[in-house]
């Protein structure tokens, strides 16, 4: 009987608490927001936090409240943004530039020296606590896969032969988890269509960088001097590229002696002039800072293969007869002719005559001239004395 009583008491208590919870859920229920529910249903449900809010629920609340844009979800992209716009009865926003994770390091096992063989926990955070990691460059990617394990989209892998992280740009959804977890801070979110990238963070003097890594930035400032548009400034021995000023000429990457600056060579552009519409005003020629446009006044001009694809000529052309197209061949820096005071004909370009190389150096030539002058003066003095 005691067991029966205990069962009845527990059963009664359970039923009572169940009734109380049901009543409380009805009394204190939060009214459902159909707009918020529709937005939440449109979101992918990755709960990655790439939008800057605590999961998809927080993102949906922010969008409905007007605190976040319709395209706040980086994972869903334009398709999810269109669904959200339709659910809220708004116009879809223009699709922005896709951001992707970029590893700012090329210091793999082939190019970067190794200080010691690390055999501890296979985690970048743990390895970085041991003398700044096993690689000689303290800024280098350790390649132990901490970023791989946190990526919910399988967009990062570690090449076992190179020992460095690699990002699959198509799979990356720009959630930013790899950026947050990297102890070396060598991963950044960057626009997918960026024409040039600095793939190094070694803020040391050039001699130290070159001792540790063969593909690191040595702070030589060649990129700074090569940029004609003031898009590069040097800070802590590293070039800082202002993408608002960058025109994608890629001259910084051409000038870099260590290939620390990557360029999208496959999409480098070249100007093309429509000769049927060109009036020969010469504005394009005067704008070109790479001496790659030639032509006579009032006659169609021509673009040489030295063109870098900066596009300034196309912007200034009053007839809009210059278009920018993707190059089919590598730029030839030696094909430029240069601006001359006289008009340059497209059919018969001016070829500057090469001055013959002097036989002697200026110092030796000056001594020879002085000796000849002294000899001539001596001979004239001798002739004068004979006539007397």
Summarised one tens digit per residue, pLDDT across range 305-320 is 999 999 999 999 999 9
Q: Which of 190, 207, 237 is the last residue of a domain?
A: 190
**What does the pLDDT read at residue 384?**
79
Tokens 């937005």, residue located: 39
263 located within any domain: yes
Residue 91 sits in a domain whose CATH number is 1.10.15.40
In angstroms, the CA 279 to CA 318 distance is: 9
pLDDT score at 200 = 96
Do residues 61 and 127 share a domain? no
- Flag whether 358 is in a domain: no
Residue 11 lies inside a defined structural domain of this protein? no
CATH of the domain at 248: 3.30.70.20
| pLDDT at res. 363 | 61
Q: Are residue 87 and residue 53 in the same domain, yes or no?
A: yes
Q: Is residue 375 part of a domain?
A: no
Please report the beta strands in 83-201, taking only residues with DSSP state E, as ranges in sequence order: 99-103, 156-159, 164-167, 187-191, 196-198
pLDDT tens digits for 97-111? 788 999 999 999 999
pLDDT of 344:
38
- In a domain, residue 372? The reply is no
Whether residue 50 is found in the same domain as residue 110: no
Q: Are residues 66 and 108 in the same domain?
A: no
- Domain match, 35 and 92 both: yes
Choose from 78-82, 154-158, 170-174 the range with maximum mean pLDDT: 154-158
In the structure, how many helices (H) and strands (E) does the chain have? Answer: 13, 12
Q: Which of 214, 249, 267 is the last residue of a domain?
A: 267
User: What mean pLDDT comes out for the span 79-85?
Assistant: 84
Could you give the CA distance from residue 138 to residue 116 in angstroms, rounded to a whole number? 13
- What pLDDT does residue 79 have? 81
Is pLDDT above 90 for 222?
yes
In this prediction, residue 345 carries a pLDDT of 39
Over the range 302-329, which residues count as b (16 or more CB within 10 Å of their CB) and which as e? Answer: bbbebbbbbbbbbeebeeebbebeebee
113 and 177: one domain? yes
In this prediction, residue 3 has a pLDDT band, given cuts at 50, 70 and 90, of confident
**Residue 156, pLDDT score:** 96
Task: Give the residue from 267, 282, 299 where a domain finishes.
Answer: 267
Q: Are residues 231 and 158 located together in one domain of the fold?
A: no
Q: Looking at the domain assignment, is residue 1 inside a domain?
A: no
Q: Which of 17-21, 172-176, 212-216 has the lowest mean pLDDT?
A: 17-21
pLDDT tops 50 at residue 339: no
Residue 178 has which token pair?
A: 């790899």
- Mean pLDDT, range 316-325, rounded to an integer: 94
Whether residues 157 and 170 fall in one domain: yes
Is residue 384, in this structure, part of any structural domain at all? no
Higher pLDDT, 341 or 160: 160
Same domain, 261 and 237: yes
Distance CA(364)–CA(301), nearest Å, equals 47
Which pLDDT score, from 0 to 100, does residue 367 have? 65
Mean pLDDT for the stretch of residues 344-352: 41
Query: What is the average pLDDT score of the chain?
Result: 85
Residue 276 shares a structural domain with residue 322 = yes
| 257, part of any domain | yes
Indicate the number of domains in the chain: 4
The pLDDT confidence band at residue 348, using thresholds 50, 70 and 90, is very low
Domain that includes residue 229, residue range? 194-267
Q: Does residue 204 share a domain with residue 234?
A: yes
Dihedral pair phi/psi, residue 108, rounded to 5°: -80, -175
**Is 182 found in the same domain as 121?**
yes
């Amino acid at each position: 009987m005691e067991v029966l009583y205990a069962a009845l008491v527990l059963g009664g208590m359970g039923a009572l608490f169940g009734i109380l919870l049901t009543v409380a859920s009805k009394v204190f229920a939060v009214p459902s927001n159909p707009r918020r529910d529709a937005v939440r249903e449109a979101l992918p449900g990755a709960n990655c936090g790439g939008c800057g809010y605590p999961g998809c629920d927080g993102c949906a609340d922010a969008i409905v409240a007007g605190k976040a844009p319709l395209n706040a979800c980086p994972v869903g992209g334009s398709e999810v943004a269109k669904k959200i716009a339709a659910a809220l009865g708004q116009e879809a926003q223009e699709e922005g530039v896709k951001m992707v994770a970029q590893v700012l390091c090329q210091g793999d096992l082939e190019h970067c020296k190794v200080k010691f063989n690390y055999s501890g926990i296979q985690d970048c955070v743990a390895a970085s606590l041991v003398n700044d990691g096993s690689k000689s460059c303290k800024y280098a990617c350790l390649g132990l896969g901490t970023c791989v394990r946190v990526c919910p989209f399988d967009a990062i892998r570690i090449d076992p032969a190179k020992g460095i992280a690699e990002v699959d740009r198509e799979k990356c959804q720009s959630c930013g988890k790899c950026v947050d977890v990297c102890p070396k801070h060598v991963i950044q979110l960057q626009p997918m269509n960026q024409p040039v990238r600095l793939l190094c963070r070694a803020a040391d003097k050039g001699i130290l960088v070159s001792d540790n890594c063969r593909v690191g930035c040595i702070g030589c400032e060649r990129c700074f001097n090569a940029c004609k548009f003031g898009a590069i400034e040097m800070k802590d021995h590293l070039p800082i590229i202002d993408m608002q000023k960058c025109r994608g000429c890629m001259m910084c990457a051409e000038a870099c002696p260590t290939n620390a600056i990557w360029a999208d060579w496959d999409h480098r552009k070249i100007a093309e002039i429509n000769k049927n519409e060109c009036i020969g005003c010469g504005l394009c020629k005067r704008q070109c800072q790479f001496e790659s446009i030639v032509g006579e006044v009032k006659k169609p001009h021509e673009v040489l293969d030295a063109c870098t694809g900066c596009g300034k000529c196309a912007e200034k052309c009053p007839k809009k007869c210059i278009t920018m197209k993707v190059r089919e061949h590598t730029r030839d820096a030696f094909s430029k002719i240069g601006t001359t005071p006289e008009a340059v004909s497209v059919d018969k370009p001016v070829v500057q005559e090469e001055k013959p190389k002097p036989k002697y150096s200026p110092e030796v030539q000056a001594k020879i001239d002085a000796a000849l002058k002294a000899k001539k003066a001596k001979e004239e003095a001798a002739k004068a004395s004979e006539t007397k």
